[in-house]
Structure 1
């Protein structure tokens, strides 16, 4: 015989508290999937599609991986996808935040993973200097700031080069947008303004403008921002115009 036991409340006992409302999951699963695709693409590129990898293999990757090389050689496109994802995710994570909250969130998210990565890479390269060279102590310390490229210092791992572009995007977006708050209208003005400034920077060939507006990768960041605006507000001609401009 199965007996079901039920707890009985006495007449004066308080009612149990209702279950707290469930927090809505703000993560977008497809973004995680795209990150995985981009990461695997870049990894495949460095393994079997990047000609400098011949130093590690002591042979041309096209010879070592004759069937894989034609596909792996396009893995660099994963970086372009990463920059678009970054535009989408940064705009999403900034919405409703103050500049201080935004910059704190970036520091907390990036540096605790970046510092061990730099130190581990430094140790590995010191022990097995196969595909790259060991840097001096002062250059390693400068790498820990993530702004080493601004001083002409190489990354301990060349794959970290994207972080310098990401960092400049964060600063530009934070300074231009967050001090007044994000709205659809202001974000679209930022997108169009950045693209126009990038065209001017590319035509003018001025190092300072290139440093600020990143003409080579600005269209990718802006396209990611615009796709987030479609996700949040729905499709309209102005947003698609920014994507087309990109």
Structure 2
């Protein structure tokens, strides 16, 4: 007759400490759905809600899309959603990985799509220089590194500005967190520390700190990280405090 763990435990022995719920580090369908919503929102914004798109339409998009403009003009919020999703997904993909594994995964994930995008954009604006113009060849090559903004060089497409924000987030998170390994406690310390540093950078108007801590977007990345912690460990006051601070 099989005895259970409860039956085998002696009456005076303490109960084992509860283990936080662990979820498999697998693809989450709702994240793909949110990515789609964010991408469509941004695309709609550039099509019908972005006033600089008047260069392409030849007139104010409010006249081209009189009924759509009032909705499309809020499509920029898709970028904010992307940054929150990035915080969630990067924290999830970092868990249990070394710095080398993490950075290799980012290179493999981003650059095979980014390089053709740069090439296609360059060809399109060379043939149809309406909304923007073709950059010099040396600046196009620097764009391929994704670090062109660090050298004061513009993007081949202005919509690529978010990649520089993402890249700085990856470096900050990877350098600060991965060398010691991720735990709930360390990740929460990172969240609160980053938010405080972002406030200091914004208040002091210090360019170097602003470059590192991104005061405008840090709350979005941190909120995404905190939501992942809830997904992995369950809800608690410390995690919700980070979201509230964000």
How does the TM-score come out when normalised to structure 1?
0.90
Give yes or no for contact 2:25–2:93 (8 Å, CA) kept in 1: no
Higher relative contact order (CA 8 A, sep 6+): 2
Q: C-alpha separation between the residues in 1 aligned to 2:153 and 2:49?
A: 26
Q: C-alpha separation between the residues in 1 aligned to 2:191 and 2:85?
A: 15
Residue 121 of structure 2 is aligned to residue 121 of structure 1: yes
Gaps of 5+ in 1: 1-23
> Could you tell me which residue of structure 2 aligns to residue 152 of structure 1?
152
Q: C-alpha separation between the residues in 2 aligned to 1:128 and 1:63?
A: 23
Q: C-alpha separation between the residues in 2 aligned to 1:96 and 1:41?
A: 33
Q: C-alpha separation between the residues in 2 aligned to 1:160 and 1:176?
A: 25
CA displacement at 1:174 relative to structure 2: 0.2
> Could you tell me which residue of structure 2 aligns to residue 213 of structure 1?
213
Q: CA RMSD in A?
A: 0.7
Q: SS at 2:59's partner residue?
A: coil
Residue 214 of structure 2 is aligned to residue 228 of structure 1: no
Q: SS at 1:97's partner residue?
A: coil
> Could you tell me which residue of structure 1 aligns to residue 193 of structure 2?
193
Q: C-alpha separation between the residues in 2 aligned to 1:222 and 1:117?
A: 28
Q: C-alpha separation between the residues in 1 aligned to 2:190 and 2:71?
A: 36
CA displacement at 1:135 relative to structure 2: 0.4
Gaps of 5+ in 2: 1-23
Q: C-alpha separation between the residues in 2 aligned to 1:136 and 1:82?
A: 30
Aligned 1:64-143 pairs, distance under 5 A? 64-143=64-143
> Could you tell me which residue of structure 1 aligns to residue 9 of structure 2?
none
Q: C-alpha separation between the residues in 2 aligned to 1:99 and 1:28?
A: 23
Q: Deviations over 1:62-100 (max 9, x none)?
A: 000000000000000000000000000000000000000
CA displacement at 1:138 relative to structure 2: 0.4
Computing the radius of gyration from Cα coordinates, the structure with the larger value is: 1
Aligned 1:18-57 pairs, distance under 5 A? 26-57=26-57
Sort the Cα spacing of 1:39 and 1:222 in 2 relative to 1 into closer, same or farther, 3 A.
Answer: same
Q: SS at 1:70's partner residue?
A: helix
> Could you tell me which residue of structure 2 aligns to residue 241 of structure 1?
241
Q: C-alpha separation between the residues in 2 aligned to 1:235 and 1:172?
A: 25
CA displacement at 1:25 relative to structure 2: 7.7
* Poorly superposed stretches of 4+, deviation over 4 Å: none
Q: C-alpha separation between the residues in 1 aligned to 2:230 and 2:109?
A: 26
CA displacement at 1:133 relative to structure 2: 1.0
